[in-house]
Amino acid sequence: MTITAGSAATNTLIGAIWTSVIAQSDVKAIMAHILDDVNVHHPQAQISGTGGFVREGQLYVPNRGVLTLRPGDGVFYDPATGWPILLSAGALAGASWVHS
């Protein structure tokens, strides 16, 4: 199940909470929206080979590097730019972030 998240003022990010049993459909949905920010045509990052998200808990930030997820971390993307965003489980549990 994908969810929405954002600051306490607005919910503009789309993503999912990572667990070891996250549905492959959720991973694919997020991967399809992570875009290559260097290529002017902004193709999907997994197609251009610059980034993506895998079920095993790795977030490949386009043209930047790899982040390892821990249970309860949130992986989101900005729908306007396709930029991936990682929020820790602790940050998501705080009052600054709301999510469904």
pLDDT 10s digits, 60-78: 999 999 999 999 999 999 8
What's the Cα-to-Cα distance from 94 to each of 5, 39, 49, 76, rounded to whole Å? 13, 35, 34, 17
CA distance 62 to 93: 27
Whole domain around residue 61: which residue ranges?
A: 3-99
84 vs 4, higher pLDDT: 84
Give the pLDDT score at 73: 95
Let me know the angle formed at the C-alpha of 67 by 26 and 62, rounded to the nearest 5 degrees: 75
| Residue labelled with tokens 């667990």 | 19
Q: What's the predicted TM-score (pTM) here?
A: 0.83
Nearest alpha carbon to residue 74 among 31, 11, 15: 15
Domains: count for the chain: 1
